[in-house]
Structure 1
């Protein structure tokens, strides 16, 4: 075990939120350590809070503009929320009708009673390139991967013990995704978080190029379908040539340390039925199945707040499968909270106090 090392801030978790938080702290000339244990309907609320970041250039992660096709029962609350939010914020949007839908979106069958629109500004974010864009170490930051946090001792100076060292800092930012509550247990506190495993599915085109971005096929979101009340989303073929990514926006409960033991495939069965009904140009059997994890809050909104008992421990958690695209802004907000500054955006909807009786002390 190495000698104790001092930092202004230790960020635990080097995903997109932690990486951008560490970047912002290092940019503020704070001596920052980033720890990682491995090697490297809600639209209205988020649009109001974060749309300025797209407009003023804060959001600069590598992406490709494809447009976003939104489909769902025309008079349902979820579909109307998307439509009204886009229009209220003057986002360039094309409303499709049942008559012109096949002309604009071939090889997709629009369900009876569904509405459809396209946000023409939307696109696909390349996660690996986005993380590489965070030049944290060039600003003097230190990253330690393959170091699992074994203990957190709160206090005016927080001591963090890992599998590879002991560190102390004036403040700690926890952005540990599915492992958030395992870390918070060291501080005697638990958030109402649920971890689920998502099957990430890729579907083979019957004719290569049918759903390719070169053919102007957009990303898409189904707010509700005959198969499920949950969202289904898809991206044009890109990661694997000739394969289209279509996933179910929900999964089954799992322990992040044993997620491979969770083998539920009910979400894949839902997707098979949807693809067979709506995407005639795809073979309705996934060609590749990978996995990821969501960390869900009860209301599916983020947690961006101070620890209720230790103001020098800041928590960014519960991103519920839709936080990655906000990484640059969330990193800035976590940095501001860490420095005791007034946040750039209103974070009151993301405070821990909204859960009240659902939060508890760790046993």
Structure 2
């Protein structure tokens, strides 16, 4: 139980993967840190739950490729610390039509960074991945570093390590009020806390905390349908058959991605990288499966590309993305209060980068020089939101 009269070095609001890694890095720096979570842990109401996420180095942007190099190192370090496997290597197969600009950009960044990858023509794709039906003109690019992260296990591991390092985790405490200043005061449904610094990593609830602090970020919360598809022959799309994660580019307005069967026996996870705008409090309102446009897009994709799967999902779950207009993160200090740091807008691709994101948010709160150029992540890139104090 956190003591009410303690002055913390930092309070982190939101115990998703970004908040957990931020608190972890602060504790590593011997800071007295409190991690607050509005729901009782573990929970499935945010963006970090579920068993798996894709990890990859293939990105069109150089700055993400650069960040992923350290991210892999930090994931391995956490694995070693907790003695638990948090990552499985599978490779990531990028699929797209020959000449697809995003595919070409990923190939260029992998090449320029000297990362191991392999290009497949349409005929080579058919030979190497016979359980994928290739569209005419479709080619492939294998990011050999790609694989699967065990999301739920990673969250538990971080929370355990944080407590071992002396940090505090208080769940089931919704933040009701933030009073800026030195110290900053955070009032929850249970009590009030004070800290020298505050880091907000509240996912879809970010703007609810920021509005009373005089700023609103251009964030859109989307409900994502997480779909699982049954193998007609059990194991045919599993890791034992060396089937990789995949990312389909360009066939639909948004990416389609998939992971080898593991979470549910005989089921493969395939999702559409987009969803419907939703209030995070109403995420679980029921929707008829036949009315969900993205599921119909996935049904068509599975029918045409993955003939070894049944073309309707067996299981449908929900997750949330919090998207920025450019799909890049917000990693910055509040424009007015420099002891309030914001990590937001991870746009459905932040999990793999969370070790480095947490390090950056830790550095910002400690007034250290950030390890990376934060130009792509500054609040000031959004018109009308002013220049951030970095």
Task: Please classify the TM superposition score into its range, dividing by the shorter chain length.
Answer: over 0.9
In structure 2, the partner of 1:30 is 31
- Cα 1:131/1:147, change in 2 over 3 Å: same
SS class of match (2:185) = strand
Deviation at 1:359, TM superposition (A): 7.6
SS class of match (1:357) = coil
Q: Distance in 1 between matches of 2:200 and 2:355?
A: 16
Deviation at 1:78, TM superposition (A): 1.2
Runs of 4+ in 1 over 6 A off after TM superposition: none
| CA offset digits 1:70-121 (Å, max 9, x no partner) | 0012212111112111111111111112222122111111112222111112
Contact 2:121/2:139, CA 8 A, preserved across alignment: yes
| CA offset digits 1:2-25 (Å, max 9, x no partner) | 845421110000111101110111
Contact 1:238/1:244, CA 8 A, preserved across alignment: yes
Task: Kindly indicate whether residue 95 of structure 2 is the aligned counterpart of residue 71 of structure 1.
Answer: yes
In structure 2, the partner of 1:20 is 21
Q: Distance in 1 between matches of 2:339 and 2:372?
A: 20
Task: Kindly indicate whether residue 104 of structure 2 is the aligned counterpart of residue 80 of structure 1.
Answer: yes
In structure 2, the partner of 1:202 is 228
Task: Kindly indicate whether residue 318 of structure 2 is the aligned counterpart of residue 294 of structure 1.
Answer: no
| Superposed counterparts of 1:118-267, under 5 Å | 118-134=142-158, 135-225=161-251, 228-261=252-285, 263=287, 265-267=292-294
**Unaligned stretches of 5+ residues in structure 2:** 42-57, 80-85
Deviation at 1:211, TM superposition (A): 0.3
Q: TM-score, normalised by structure 2?
A: 0.88
Contact 1:42/1:301, CA 8 A, preserved across alignment: no
In structure 1, the partner of 2:44 is none
Contact 1:201/1:288, CA 8 A, preserved across alignment: yes
**Number of residue pairs the alignment of both structures matches:** 356
Q: Give RMSD over aligned pairs.
A: 1.7
In structure 2, the partner of 1:9 is 10
SS class of match (2:359) = helix
**Unaligned stretches of 5+ residues in structure 1:** none
Contact 2:121/2:138, CA 8 A, preserved across alignment: no
Q: Distance in 2 between matches of 1:23 and 1:194?
A: 28
Q: Mean alpha-carbon deviation: is it higher for 44-53 or for 252-261?
A: 44-53
In structure 1, the partner of 2:82 is none
SS class of match (2:355) = helix
Q: Distance in 1 between matches of 2:344 and 2:284?
A: 22
Q: Distance in 2 between matches of 1:46 and 1:123?
A: 20
Contact 2:335/2:386, CA 8 A, preserved across alignment: no
Q: TM-score, normalised by structure 1?
A: 0.94
Task: Kindly indicate whether residue 353 of structure 2 is the aligned counterpart of residue 326 of structure 1.
Answer: yes
- Cα 1:48/1:100, change in 2 over 3 Å: closer
